[in-house]
Amino acid sequence: MSDPRRGREVVVTGFGAVTPLGVGADVLHERAVAGDAAPAGSPPAVRHADFTAADHLPRNLVRRTDRFTQLALVAAEEALSRAGHRAGAPSPWLPERVACVIGCGLGGTASFEAQREVYEKEGAGFVSPLMVPQMMANAAAAHLSMRHGFRGESLCVASACSSGAQAVGTGMRLLASGAADAVVVGGAEASSSDLVAAAFANAGALSPSGSSRPFDRDRDGFVIGEGAGILVLETAAGAARRGAEVLGAVRGYGATSDAHHVTAPAPDGGPAARAVALALREASVAPGELAYVNAHGTGTALNDRLECEALRRALGADVLAELPLSSGKGALGHLFGAAGAVEAIATLQALRHGVAPPTAGLRHPDPALGPLDLVRTARKLTPRARTGVLFGLSTSFGFGGHNAALVLAAEGRS
């Protein structure tokens, strides 16, 4: 994956995922490519991760952590194992040179809600002293560093639905600055309660039909999902020195703010388009070299329309019209702070296997979105760069006007 244009190319040596499609990054890709969608849960517009924490983590750790942290720890075990870091064995890196950056939008809402109920029913004296360390948004990053003995910088990126993507970008910058030799990055979220669902429903964002249909003419909002995606990033030189297998690369990152409204995106799509342009510029990749776009694609009428406008503005109408594009939210639901990281992994998997997953639930593409090459069944990807490398774009947009884009690369195997 080395490229002379990149002095300190950031490569991926491990990734792991826990999503409503199952445990494992390979399960995520296989089921997504098959067009599977996770079943609806309770409330109706929620898709839960197929995951029992006690099957994967020690009982005392399960008792002391919120579900979003548990999801992150299990996804991290897979990512670190792929990267060559295994419990009980010597680490491939100095502990002081490993950083942890985990994005989260809402934190441990389940722990907060459970203790609020205890407070109301039994009184203040019965509230767990663990509530705050369970619910704090940085809990996943903290437990990840403690569990594996990583003593470098550890922090949480909290930028709503772009948190996971911005965590990846933050990790890239730590590597570029020389502050770390490896960075464990990603996102985790488990906010699938009745209360959270009610808030999004009253805001008009949640699907009243309980289905997610990004880019469909009949789309009526998103469904809530939960999960985690974790990646291990290193410089290409560092990975080569230790003989690590390279799974792909993160070639570019761009992020901007709308400075417009706390929930509604900027109506002209300009700042979102600029985030994409910044990522492409850092990657030294032209729009026409992209082979695939994994879009944020929430399935709300406004956001899908404005995202398509932003992509058209950043890539050019002719390029976008012929560029395979899909959204994972039809299969997974909206993973909020985990979405950007899980979708970065889904993008890398699509590039590595040379197959783009479809948008689950898409039946009638909305003609009002303009000319798009929407993936409706699994699609073989074709390299468009002279090097033969497959390049992909993954986008994320969050409440508060946060826009993030990642350009990823891999040598397709098929």
Q: Which residues are catalytic?
A: 161, 296, 334
What type of residue sits at position 162? S
Q: What angle do CA 47, 48, 50 make, to 5 degrees?
A: 125
Instruction: Give the number of other Cβ atoms within 10 Å of residue 291's Cβ.
Output: 23
Handedness of CA 134, 137, 138, 141 (dihedral sign): positive
Helical H segments across 210-363, by residue range: 236-241, 270-283, 301-315, 317-321, 329-332, 339-353
User: Which tokens hold the place of 279?
Assistant: 């990522």
Instruction: Give the CA diameter of the chain.
Output: 67
For residue 385, give Cα distances in angstroms to 1, 41, 290. 13, 42, 8
Handedness of CA 361, 165, 17, 262 (dihedral sign): negative
Quote the CA–CA distance of 229 and 236 in Å, as a whole number: 21
Side-chain-side CA neighbours of residue 284 (13 Å): 8
Enumerate residues 6+ apart whose C-beta is below 8 A from 322: 373
Please, what is the angle between helix 194-202 and helix 109-122, to 10°?
A: 110
For residue 170, give Cα distances in angstroms to 165, 174, 218, 257, 267. 9, 6, 37, 16, 27
Handedness of CA 25, 336, 233, 49 (dihedral sign): negative
